Amino acid sequence: MSAPQYEVYAVKYAHHARRASENFIGGDPHDGPMPLDYFVWLIREAGTNAGREIVVDTGFSAAMAAKRKRDHLRCPTEGLKLLGVDAKAVKDVVITHLHYDHVGNFDLFPAATLHLQDLEMNYATGRHMTQPVFQGAFEVEDVVGMVRRVYAGRVRFHDGDAEIAPGVSVHLIGGHTMGLQVVRVSTRRGNVVLASDASHFYANMEQSRPFPIVYSVADMVEGYARLGELAGSADCIIPGHDPLVLERYPAPQATLKGIVARLD
């Protein structure tokens, strides 16, 4: 039997204006505006109304946006609701890594098992977090909340590559953080890879110019090649923060233009 095929969506929930020089190690010789969009992603089994739903990352709250001076457009759960998803009923959430913009709202998914790499929890609770250079994009309350979720038995740890549903797998990349994982999904156009922050922008991976928030530059650069191996073709890799995603992919319906892109 062939693996089920899935629909895949990017849902934009926030925005941040910044310059290109802030998005590459060593800056950018043609510096200019290069904003970030913030997304969560939905994977939904195609062909049935009662298909399996997997959410990838949970975004941040309006309060966190105010603290970090980001433009909050909608609660990520409100964005998912536009696609008919009830966050309270979602059973599986992949947390690509524990940075504040990927894990902030996981308490809004009370029924979910959270999928996380062993190395990411080690990183977020271990020796490197004593250093400001590594802790900047983590929020200690998010990490503490994740520890509570571990004790409640609601975290499923992975060590490297793992299939979490037929046709949906997670893959350890590291680089940006020690335990960053990406998600590969079987779709009608082949395997789509949700790269999250393995590549913030198309330019990071296409030009091998690493993003400056990084645990291991070597692993980050190796990760660009790994994304290509996982995806099969370059146009099936979806970067984590690039506004171009909403230009390159269509909205599932006209009213969702600028908010949701269909990636499969």
Asked if 120 interacts with Zn ion (CB under 5 A), we say no
Nearer to Zn ion by Cβ, of 139 and 197: the residue is 197
Measured between alpha carbons, how far apart are the two ends of the chain, in Å? 21
> Least distance from C-beta 46 to Zn ion, angstroms?
27
In this structure, the chain runs to a length of: 264
C-alpha–C-alpha distance, residues 210 and 110, integer Å: 35
Paired tokens of 89 = 């009923």
Among 45, 197, 219, 264, binds Zn ion (CB under 5 A): 197
> Least distance from C-beta 223 to Zn ion, angstroms?
14
Phi, psi dihedrals of residue 36, rounded to the nearest 5°:
-105, 140
Nearer to Zn ion by Cβ, of 101 and 142: the residue is 101
C-alpha–C-alpha distance, residues 259 and 70, integer Å: 17
Q: Order of strands across the sheet with 190-196?
A: 162-165, 168-172, 181-187, 190-196, 237-239
Nearer to Zn ion by Cβ, of 53 and 101: the residue is 101
Paired tokens of 43 = 């994977």
> Least distance from C-beta 96 to Zn ion, angstroms?
8
Asked if 92 interacts with Zn ion (CB under 5 A), we say no
Phi, psi dihedrals of residue 165, rounded to the nearest 5°:
-160, 160
Nearer to Zn ion by Cβ, of 167 and 240: the residue is 240
Which of the stretches 67-75, 97-105, 116-124, 224-232 binds Zn ion when contact is defined by CB under 5 A? 97-105
Paired tokens of 192 = 């789509």
> Least distance from C-beta 254 to Zn ion, angstroms?
28
Nearer to Zn ion by Cβ, of 7 and 101: the residue is 101
> Least distance from C-beta 246 to Zn ion, angstroms?
16
> Least distance from C-beta 188 to Zn ion, angstroms?
28
Say how many residues touch Zn ion, by CB under 5 A: 2
Nearer to Zn ion by Cβ, of 137 and 164: the residue is 137
Paired tokens of 213 = 């928030």
Query: Which 3 state secondary structure label does DSSP give 9?
Result: strand
Asked if 101 interacts with Zn ion (CB under 5 A), we say yes
DSSP E strands, 46-180? 53-56, 71-72, 92-94, 113-117, 155-158, 162-165, 168-172
Nearer to Zn ion by Cβ, of 40 and 85: the residue is 40
Which of the stretches 53-61, 96-104, 153-161, 210-218 binds Zn ion when contact is defined by CB under 5 A? 96-104
Give the residues lining the site for Zn ion (CB under 5 A).
101, 197
